[in-house]
Structure 1
């Protein structure tokens, strides 16, 4: 028996049902139409929609596209609550792994875990690391939590996702400088303009952004200590139209514990004083074009008083290592060396964690697991005299 229809569109016959779902901002009735090959199919679509609203789903949930809503969430919600450097990272994830991807056009309300899982599996097979996929999933999971709260879908499809080979990816070993390498580097730094910067980092373990963000008002020469109160970072600022601008910005430190006071080794005080005198000479030489305040401005600057770009600092650092005949290590290896040397000298884990500004002691313990067993062994070895 032929199905009855009541509506014709583009030469095709359908059965149409309509339902009122509320009023718009002007008080006019909002009506939704549902089509099917017959009455039963059209009414089933209507009932599905109404049940969705009854269960708290957004009235527009069936029209929401994953990529479109993700971008709106990223630029109109997330951007207001994170640091520019964090947003730069998130925007990169969106641009590289969501925009123009196979998941961009998925309907929000129909998105299933298996679709996301298949996409992650394809990324892994194409050569993307587990850590890259993990970061993508972390951001997508936050987005879907937002979508659930806003009523676009009932459950988060990223909750039970398995990151391909996440447990097989070996944790990279941290790099440190040996005593011999430190000696070689110190010799090369002897007459270098930024000698104070590198030696201060070996003596305090500051993160690169914290080091470059130091101001003279943060250093107490009498107490031989410095305060970490800000960082500077070069980031790409992205507006709503996607326009990009590379800028140096000042930010609060990474975590609450990152705002801290760190003692300065006594031997570095004369080095800092010498550098400050040199900075004064550079200001006199540059004249009006000098851009830094010697009393309250940044400690480490260019010869014209501008902030040091992290990329330029990395280039300077690499040249110093080449000159000293030391195999390249990341700049962060200086911070790792600081922590490792403290452990080797018997400094307690809690103290090292505080000096590093870690958010909790477990991060310190996890990062330096290669050092701590040796420290424990050495500690027990001190009891040998009890048995002689």
Structure 2
């Protein structure tokens, strides 16, 4: 039976100071708690007994701030097990946590309400918010494993959907023509033509080696991707590194046919010699993979020459025309759009793009497919009158 009593003593100033004490025997062990009020001391004892009965132990008394604990999770649990690019993304998420007021709150005082308020306050994309939610959830689960929390405060926390511009950027046929003409005398002309007429992603183009190019069969074999990512040491220091990975999904490993003109140009472009199979098709002059940021910069230079997407700004009182171009990924979208316009089967397009399922392709290119439906109705209209004129 628990014993709860009020104790009073004199402090150094001679004033009476009271506190409450609770004592009990739990599993043969004598325990004692003190607090300023009877209600608090009863709660401490009740929580202790509840922990022993339900979990067999009490929570560790170590107090970590959220920022401290997420950092521990990153370098103790995550760093040895995840890919370098994944850890880079986790570090970006951690920065938002550690620089917020939530980061200074102790684990035991974190609540779903505080987390939801933090998530709602972030002006980030849906994907970035999801990455932060995943990191917090994993960190809290690790805290539970280490006897610091009983429940995960992420339960019930949602990532609010923000209006996202799902419009894909596609070159019109006129813009595509101008883009091709602007490639004249560009050192990386063949790289951009390959992107425009095969739909390969930037990382897939960078990773392409001559052993993956079959000029006799006019095909490219896509089996790797290259990304430039910030790599961290176990002490937290970082540097940029070019990392080669296998594609995330099996469907991204694929064979892509080459149009005849590209096969001919690659045949001329291919270096002579017998030991070139491991050389990058579009590598640097010293044989290393290109950096994706360089490719994107070269691409925007071509967009400027092709005068794609003009915008007018005022500088020093004068109107200035600038060409903002389109993202490099628009070359992939342009490839797919031209295929749909030509009546290619959507299943074939899905396989050429390396999408994991056909629904992904349908979702991305919905507007193009709708336009082809309208065009097909016009063809039926023309067919009707053609038949009557026979």
Q: Output the CA distance in 1 between the equivalents of 2:9 and 2:256.
A: 77
Distance in 1 (alpha carbons) for counterparts of 2:32 and 2:227? 53
1:226 paired residue among 201, 220, 226: 220
Query: Is the alpha carbon distance of 1:129 and 1:309 closer, same or farther for their aligned partners in structure 2, counting shifts above 3 Å?
Result: closer
**Is the alpha carbon distance of 1:269 and 1:129 closer, same or farther for their aligned partners in structure 2, counting shifts above 3 Å?**
closer
Q: Does 1:271 align with 2:273?
A: no
TM-score by length of 2: 0.81
Matched with 1:355 is 352
Match of 2:369 among 369, 372, 379: 372
Q: How does 1:1-388 map to 2 (within 5 A)?
A: 4-5=6-7, 14-15=19-20, 34-37=33-36, 41-56=40-55, 59-60=59-60, 63-95=63-95, 97-124=96-123, 128=124, 132-148=128-144, 152-164=148-160, 166-167=161-162, 169-277=163-271, 294-327=276-309, 328-384=325-381, 385=383, 388=387
Q: Distance in 2 between matches of 1:10 and 1:198?
A: 82
Compute the TM-score of the two structures, normalised by the length of structure 1: 0.81
What is the SS of the residue equivalent to 1:191?
A: coil
Q: Gapped runs of 5+ residues in structure 1?
A: 23-28, 282-292
Higher mean C-alpha displacement, 184-193 vs 352-361: 184-193
Counterpart contact for 2:60–2:147, Cα < 8 Å: no
CA RMSD of aligned residues (A): 3.4
SS of residue in 2 equivalent to 1:295:
coil
CA contact (8 A) 2:228 2:242 kept: yes
Q: 1:311 to 1:380 in 2, by over 3 A?
A: same
Deviations 1:304-363 (A, max 9, x none): 222211122122212222122223111101111111111111122222111111222222
Deviation at 1:32, TM superposition (A): 7.8
Residue 284 of structure 1: aligned partner: none
Q: CA deviation at 1:49?
A: 3.4
Q: Cα–Cα, structure 1 residues 254 and 34, in superposed 2: closer, same or farther, change >3 Å?
A: same
1:50-81 CA deviation, whole Å, 9 max, x = no partner? 42354448732773542222222222223334
State the shift of 1:43 in Å.
4.3
Structure with larger Rg: 2
Report the CA distance shift for 1:20/1:221 in structure 2 as closer, same or farther (over 3 A): farther
Contact 2:6/2:18, CA 8 A, preserved across alignment: no
